[in-house]
Structure formats: C-alpha cells, structure tokens
Amino acid sequence: MEQYDKEELAKLLLSIGTRKRWRASDPITTARKLEALLKVTTQKEIAKKLGVSQEMIREFLRLLTLSSNVQELVRARKISIDEGYRLSLIENKNFQEALANSIVAHTLKAKEVRGIVQSLMKRNPDMSVSEGVELVMKYRPIIDTEDLVVTSLDRVTFERLKAEAEKKTMSVNALLEEIVRPIVRDPSHLKTVKTINKAVLMVLTKEGFSEFVTESKRLKIRPNDLVESLTKKYLEMRHND
C-alpha cells in the first residue's frame, strides 16, 4: 500500500467506516480504490490497515458488480451501501434495476430490501419484484424492529389452502397463521402472517426469527421452503382425517 500517501489513506478511512453519515468519497469511488489496492496487496492487509472487517471490504467490492444504472444511484447516495450490497446478490439485472428503482420511489428501508432480496435469491418462481414491494408497502406499518420473512406458496398448495380455509369458514391468513404458529415457543414472537396471492409475508420478533431458522434446520428444510412444507403437511393430515 506504499503507493497510497497518508492523505489518500485518510480519505479511505473516512469513506469506508461503518455507519458513517458523511463520507469523503462516494461508495462507488471508494470501491474502485479498494479494487485498485487489491492489485498490490491482500484484502486482509487492506482491512487491517483501515481498521475494518474483511466483510466490509467485500460489501464495497460487490457494489462494482451492480449494473451501471444502479451504481449511479449508489454513487448519488439514493441507495445505501447495505441496500446496494443486497441488490448485488440478485443475478437477474432486470430484477436488480426494478428493485433499485422501487427503493428510490418508495424509500424502502434496508430491512425491507433484505426481505425482498431473500425471496428473489431463492429463485421463487411465483415472486416478482412488484409483488415483493407490494407486500412490504401494504404492511409497512407493522414492520418496525422485527424481522421480515418474504416467501410464497406453490400455486397448487395455495389453492388447496384457500379451499380448506373456506371449508373451515376462516380467512386464508388466519389459517396460515394457525399452521405456522407452532414454530415459535411464544405466540407473541409471531407478529403477523399475510398473503397476497401466493406470496407470504411474515413478521417475527428477533426470537421468533431465530426459532423459525432453528426449525428449518431441525427439519433440514431451507428457510424459504419452510412455510410451504408446513402447509403441505397440514393439508395432507386434514385430507387423511
């Protein structure tokens, strides 16, 4: 890192630290400087010199994989570094740009973006960017300090769930909440379960989200598939009764 003088390193330090409201350089410029540094030293050494984690370095570098349009939104600080990193995890550039535009248009929060991206990353065939955004916008008032899980049901499973709900004279949301509530130890850990078409939004407390993940591990099911699995199992049991 000898090629960088003290002033340049100081600027990097003022640009890459966590939770900074003011940065000496915009995130994309900072990412390009880090990329240049990697040609002469290691990521570990850069992190050590700047006093940040290697994960922080990786997050900045991921910004350079964004489409040029999205990079400009990050450069202009219309999209945060965390949101930009989450967007970089979406391989489909059309999805990436659509969600980026929604972040700006609806002032989506980082937690909301994470919930949508987690679903898109799982390649849920029934979840579009617009559906994900519609979910978090419609139920935004209930999404506060809790964790948001965005997933969906298979079309056939959803139709069977609707039929069962009609048979029991209750709403689909109420029946789905009845199905998934056993995964949490305390009922208060599950704040709400809502559906829009086949898409499912769940809001849990920190404890509830931890229990959700623990249950998926216990059953050896991906977290994104847990609601589908529990619903199928419930419907099969009802069919056999």
Q: Is a pLDDT exceeding 70 seen at residue 121?
A: no
Q: Where are the domains of the chain?
A: 1-107, 108-241
Give the pLDDT band of residue 16 (cuts 50, 70, 90). Answer: confident
- Per-residue pLDDT band for 122 (boundaries 50, 70, 90) equals low
Residue 20 confidence (pLDDT): 54
Q: What is the mean pLDDT of residues 62-78?
A: 95
Residue 47 CA to residue 66 CA, distance in Å, equals 22
**Mean pLDDT for the stretch of residues 74-80:** 93
Q: Which residues pair with 193 in a beta bridge?
A: 202
| pLDDT value for 102 | 94
**Average predicted confidence (pLDDT) for the chain:** 85
How many whole angstroms separate alpha carbon 232 and alpha carbon 158?
A: 9
Per-residue pLDDT at 200: 86
CATH number 3.40.50.300 given to 1-107: no
In this prediction the pTM is 0.67
Tell me how far apart the alpha carbons of residues 163 and 168 are, in angstroms, rounded to a whole number: 9
Which tens digits make up the pLDDT trace of 141-175?
Answer: 655 556 778 888 888 999 999 999 999 999 999 99
3-state secondary structure the chain: CCCCCHHHHHHHHHHHCCCCCCCCCCHHHHHHHHHHHCCCCCHHHHHHHHCCCHHHHHHHHHHHHCCHHHHHHHHCCCCCHHHHHHHHCCCCHHHHHHHHHHHHHHCCCHHHHHHHHHHHHCCCCCCCHHHHHHHHHHCHHHCCCCEEEEEECCHHHHHHHHHHHHHCCCCHHHHHHHHHHHHCCCHHHEEEEEEECCEEEEEECHHHHHHHHHHHHHCCCCHHHHHHHHHHHHHHHHHHC
Residue 159 has a pLDDT of: 94
